[in-house]
Structure 1
Amino acid sequence: MVALAQDYRKSTSLGAGYAGALVTVFIWATWIIATRHSSGTSLGTIDLGLIRYGVPALVLSPVWLRTGLVPRNVPLILLVIMVCGAGALFFQFTTFAIHSTPASAVGVLLGGSMPLAAALIGVVLFGERPDLFRSLGLAAILGGLAILLLRAVAGHEITWISFVFLPLGALLWAGYTHAFRRSGLTALEGGALIAVWSFLIHVVLALTFGSTITTVPLTELGLQFLSQGVLSGLAAMLAYGVAVRALGGSQAAAFSALTPVLATFGGAIFLDEPVGVWEITAAVMTGLGVALSTGVLSHRLKR
């Protein structure tokens, strides 16, 4: 009976983890499209950052007021990695690149790079050893990135900004993934601390470099408030925290490889971006890679 109860709790936890990961990637795809859309407005990356982190910082204020801005039981280096990896630095790097990168390419270069970066950190720093199926999944993701790279070099469609800042953003996010798992914080606590610190950083940036947020039409502000603040800043951060707790850093990050497929078709439908057979191939290849790199197939074969 005890064993059955333990198995039930474990399966429930895994189910919550998978659900959290799937919710996260759907929101990320929406975020990519909304951020691409904002490039045609007067909203800058600082303005978007104020919205992205201001909403969750306000909603989760009871949480960070209780823990304090620097919790005593969390090593400072882990907190810094979390704030940089999922907060202000990550957001500025990726948003800057997204403004000049097609949604399909963002999905592959950012979403596809995340599980690769997470796996690399896990192997180098924490001694993780991916099995054959996970290795094949990561190889498929790498193949999708290679297709996009070759297309960009041949057609000069994507600039160096995309190939530098998006993978760098993926590396930052992977660092956050591993740091959060080892911080001992709950999803609410981690999300609250990242939000408040990132909001304060963006306030300083706005005071230093200025902001155009007051000149933007209310309809555009409403769209970004929903996509950046409520969905990406609050819902996705909490959902991803649940996924990391239940699945582990590398496996949770692997789900981000589903983002390319969603972003590719979302960009074509909502932004009228041209999508050819090679872009679809790269997106599908990286998306399929997640089925192996999450380790789901490995667990089923062991059973």
Structure 2
Amino acid sequence: MVALAPEMKKSNSLGAGYAGALITILIWATWIIATRHSSATHLGTIDLGLIRYGVPALVLTPVWLRTGLIPRGVPVKLVAIMVCGAGALFFQITTFAIHSTPASAVGVLLGGSMPLAAALIGVVVFGERPDFTRWLGLAAIVAGLAILLTIALGSHAIGWISFTFLPLGALLWAGYTHAFKRSGLTALEGGALIAVWSFIIHIGLALVFGTAITSVPLAEIALQFLSQGILSGLAAMLAYGIAVRVLGGSQAAAFSALTPVLAALGGAIFLDEPVGVWEIAAALITGLGVALSTGILSHRCKR
């Protein structure tokens, strides 16, 4: 029993990492759909940002008060990359683009681009050397995303805003992923810092450009409070932080390739966007790619 203890501990740790990644992409798919829905309301990107980061900033107040706005021992550069990559800049860029992009295409251009951007940064900046299985997994992800993007382009008129801002958002998030991994912060500490800094920035934006929150029906505010604030702003940020800590930046980011599949299904159910045989095929290919690039299959084979 004593000899098995370290292996069991490692297995439990991996399970927590995989669970954190899966919870994150489920919430992200919900976020895409809720943000698309908000385009039909009077809520602007600044209003959504106030909700998105105000809730976790308030809930995690004891955490960021303890660490300080610039934690001791953490380079300011890493904090800035984290806040830009998963905070105010990321949110404003992606939300602006999501309002004019079908949910299925958002999933491809944003969630689908994240594992590729994370892998690229890992290789070019940090000298990571993915093995053949991970390269094969990334290739499968590209194939699945290509199918979904082809379908999206054939079904909708997607403009330059979508093709420019959503991949840029994916690059920002990939940068945050690697910065957080190297910051030494816990998921709670990283989430708290991103939330409070982003909330401060959005307060500044609201003072300059105004806000429409007070003129929006309470039911709509409640929907965004749940989706943006509690789920995306708090739960997903903490879950993703755990995934990055356990699995590593590139492997955790690979799970985001499942977001297009869930977004397409959610778009079909809630926004009447079509889904058919090719979408299902792309889902299977992408799922296989995620399994290969994150090492799930190799871990199981070793058991």
Structure 2 length-normalised TM: 0.95
* Percent identity of equivalent pairs: 83
By how many angstroms is 1:279 displaced? 4.5
Paired residue type of 2:66: R
**Per the alignment, do residues 85 and 191 of structure 1 end up closer, same or farther by CA in structure 2, a change over 3 Å counting?**
same
Contact 2:105 2:152 in 1 (8 A): no
CA distance, structure 2, for counterparts of residue 265 and residue 158 of structure 1? 19
Q: Which residue of 1 aligns with 2:267?
A: 267
Number of residue pairs matched by the alignment:
303
By how many angstroms is 1:198 displaced? 0.3
Paired residue type of 1:78: L
CA distance, structure 2, for counterparts of residue 107 and residue 121 of structure 1? 21
Q: Which residue of 2 aligns with 1:22?
A: 22
Q: Which residue of 1 aligns with 2:112?
A: 112
Q: Which residue of 2 aligns with 1:219?
A: 219
Contact 1:261 1:284 in 2 (8 A): no
**Per the alignment, do residues 38 and 156 of structure 1 end up closer, same or farther by CA in structure 2, a change over 3 Å counting?**
closer
Contact 2:104 2:148 in 1 (8 A): no
Q: Deviations over 1:252-273 (max 9, x none)?
A: 1111111111111111101112
Q: Which residue of 1 aligns with 2:31?
A: 31
**Per the alignment, do residues 104 and 10 of structure 1 end up closer, same or farther by CA in structure 2, a change over 3 Å counting?**
same
CA distance, structure 2, for counterparts of residue 292 and residue 141 of structure 1? 10
By how many angstroms is 1:300 displaced? 3.5
Mean Cα deviation higher: 243-252 or 138-147? 138-147
Q: Which residue of 1 aligns with 2:246?
A: 246
**Per the alignment, do residues 27 and 149 of structure 1 end up closer, same or farther by CA in structure 2, a change over 3 Å counting?**
closer
Q: Secondary structure at the match of 2:224?
A: helix
CA distance, structure 1, for counterparts of residue 226 and residue 188 of structure 2? 19
Q: Which residue of 2 aligns with 1:300?
A: 300
Contact 1:104 1:283 in 2 (8 A): no
Contact 2:104 2:152 in 1 (8 A): no
CA distance, structure 1, for counterparts of residue 290 and residue 216 of structure 2? 38
RMSD of equivalent CA atoms = 1.6
Alignment of 1:1-303 (within 5 A): 2-151=2-151, 157-302=157-302
**Per the alignment, do residues 152 and 243 of structure 1 end up closer, same or farther by CA in structure 2, a change over 3 Å counting?**
closer
CA distance, structure 1, for counterparts of residue 156 and residue 25 of structure 2? 28
CA distance, structure 2, for counterparts of residue 273 and residue 284 of structure 1? 19
Structure 1 length-normalised TM: 0.95
Q: Secondary structure at the match of 1:126?
A: coil
**Per the alignment, do residues 289 and 19 of structure 1 end up closer, same or farther by CA in structure 2, a change over 3 Å counting?**
same
CA distance, structure 1, for counterparts of residue 161 and residue 276 of structure 2? 22
CA distance, structure 2, for counterparts of residue 114 and residue 224 of structure 1? 24
CA distance, structure 2, for counterparts of residue 151 and residue 267 of structure 1? 14
Q: Deviations over 1:108-130 (max 9, x none)?
A: 11111111111111111112111
Q: Deviations over 1:84-132 (max 9, x none)?
A: 0110011111111111111111111111111111111111111211112
Contact 1:264 1:280 in 2 (8 A): no
**Per the alignment, do residues 151 and 264 of structure 1 end up closer, same or farther by CA in structure 2, a change over 3 Å counting?**
closer
Mean Cα deviation higher: 61-70 or 156-165? 156-165
Q: Deviations over 1:33-90 (max 9, x none)?
A: 1000000001000100000000000000000001000111101110001000110011
Contact 1:93 1:166 in 2 (8 A): yes
Paired residue type of 2:142: L
CA distance, structure 1, for counterparts of residue 297 and residue 73 of structure 2? 37
CA distance, structure 1, for counterparts of residue 155 and residue 217 of structure 2? 36
Q: Which runs of 5+ in 1 are unaligned?
A: none
Q: Deviations over 1:200-227 (max 9, x none)?
A: 0111111111111110000000000000
By how many angstroms is 1:302 displaced? 4.8
CA distance, structure 2, for counterparts of residue 210 and residue 280 of structure 1? 43
**Per the alignment, do residues 280 and 42 of structure 1 end up closer, same or farther by CA in structure 2, a change over 3 Å counting?**
farther
Mean Cα deviation higher: 190-199 or 128-137? 128-137
Contact 2:255 2:294 in 1 (8 A): yes
CA distance, structure 2, for counterparts of residue 55 and residue 216 of structure 1? 18
Contact 2:55 2:234 in 1 (8 A): yes
Mean Cα deviation higher: 180-189 or 152-161? 152-161
